[in-house]
Amino acid sequence: MSKAKALGRGLEALLGEMGDAYENELPQHNSVMDIELKHIRPNPFQPRKHFDEASLAELGESIKNDGLLQPVVVTQDIDGFVLISGERRVRASKLVKLKSIRAILINVDEAQMRQLSLIENIQRDELNAIELSEAYQELIKTHNITHDELSHMIHKSRTHITNTLRLLQLSSKTQKALVEKKITAGHARALIGLDDKEQQMMVNSIMGQKLSVRDVEKTIQSMKVLVSKDEDVQGKVEYDFNILKSSLTQLGLHVKIQRNKLIIEFKTQGEIDTLSSIFTK
């Protein structure tokens, strides 16, 4: 059995374990109990970083009035319990001043805890697009599996996984705009391939002019056409660098000509100082 398939089977086992915990609530080796919220520590591997306060308040009132429909999942630690899944439920319960919460207690090690947290958030669609991208990336890297293998395990299309992972190619500022819902995932995907400055320009335009995804795609296409025409014009002009190259070579510099570009390669700091001295005279 290949390493990738073995690791993939491990991920499937984790998926099954989480599913069993929720479906049975009282698996053979686990138990359900009421645990004081003050004794539950947050999951250090929680992939979700953003929690909507209004949504938490609404959930808290629901839990307070109607009870908790589904327990959280925890594992025991030296000084209490560590949350594996259900951080929204824990936060919401604290918000409405509840003292305890129903929890499924399972025995897992740190590596399993990390993976179960990722899987639980993915399956519940509780991650924003960037958090989801990072979760997919970690699962693929940790278990050495392909996009296609992951798609079968978490029941998402391979195209969805690939397109989601591509969002990590965006600049940090563009990713932040997506997380803050200033742009949509459709807008963000259209910006992939642009440099950081171009992305920022388009993000500003989307926000300021309320551009649709189609508007953005048309604008980017027009930008590419203009760049292409500019490159064609530059390609038809041939510059003569020979005299300049000869002068620089006499200074001991390494120079080469490449498609209307003069490239100077510095081998030592002394060569840089030599060229600098010419401009500072």
Q: Catalytic amino acids?
A: 87
Rounded distance between C-alpha atoms, residue 26 and residue 21, angstroms: 7
Contact assessment for residue 172 and residue 161, using Cβ atoms and an 8 Å cutoff:
no
Rounded distance between C-alpha atoms, residue 206 and residue 162, angstroms: 24
- Residue 135, Cβ density class (10 Å: 0-12 exposed, 13-18 middle, ≥19 buried): buried
Cα distance between the two ends of the chain: 70
What is the identity of the amino acid at 141? K
Measured CA distances, 154 to 21, 111, 112, 124 (Å): 17, 19, 16, 11
User: Which of 32, 49, 209, 17 is closest to 128 using CA atoms?
Assistant: 49
